[in-house]
Copies of this chain bind each other. A is one copy, B any other.
Amino acid sequence: MPPAVVLLSGGLDSATVLALAREQGFSCYALSVDYGQRHVAELDAARRVALTGGAQEHRVMRVDLAGIGGSALTDPAIAVPETPTAGIPVTYVPARNTIMLSLALAWAEVLGCRDIFIGVNVLDSSGYPDCRPEFIDAFSALAALATRAGVEGSPCRVHTPLIAMTKAQIVLEGTRLKVHYGQTVSCYQADASGRACGRCAACRLRRAGFEAAGLPDPTRYQGL
């Protein structure tokens, strides 16, 4: 089984990606990034998902993005919005996916693997610039030039199996692959035990996905 690095946030999308990468026959090295996000519940969820999702190894790398702030997810002084906003929302974390893919690229090169998976998608997403297909294409072009493997003719491929899927399609795929969505945390402001607020953009997209798919929502909400 060829090795692949799978970026695993602890949320619904990346848990589905891990299951899809395993189905495609990859031995999965799950990478989570502790960047100073609002709550540790997300990383706790990533650990559970890596274990039950059959990852070969799970690594948490730390990068202090909270030190520079600039996002509702890294600066406690910026509130997470609970109503939709126009444009790129304040939950956008500057250069987050560029940094995460760079770390995945480094680990992939050391592991000698040619495949990286990331759970970005554009349809039911928050409108972040670094979730778009053109961003992924640009990163792939960069990866081919940035590394020894690229120079030697076998650059990393960046797989984005969810990129054109709706949230409903994602949860249907994950349910087929027996993903334990109750273990995942998507909420931007989950409490310490991982219970969701039910009001932020991530919660709304997630809940609507289960509804549209006609599936029970296993999310644990605060106050319930």
B135, A138: Cβ atoms closer than 8 Å = no
A95, B88: Cβ atoms closer than 8 Å = no
With A and B bound together, what is the CA distance between A79 and B88 in angstroms?
47
Interface residues of A in 54-98 (CB under 8 A from B): 59, 61-65, 67-70, 88, 92-98
A129, B102: Cβ atoms closer than 8 Å = no
Stretch from A44-52, A145-153, A159-167, A206-214 forming part of the interface with B: A145-153
Q: Contact mask A94-135 → B, CB, 8 Å, 1/0?
A: 111111001101110110000000000000000001101011
A142 at the interface (CB under 8 A from B): yes
A181 at the interface (CB under 8 A from B): no
B129, A150: Cβ atoms closer than 8 Å = yes
Partner of A109, one of B95, B109, B146, B151: B95
A148, B135: Cβ atoms closer than 8 Å = no
A26 at the interface (CB under 8 A from B): no
- Beyond known contacts A95-B105, A98-B142: 14 more, CB 8 A cutoff: A59-B68, A70-B106, A88-B148, A88-B151, A92-B148, A94-B106, A94-B110, A94-B147, A97-B146, A99-B106, A129-B147, A130-B146, A134-B145, A138-B142
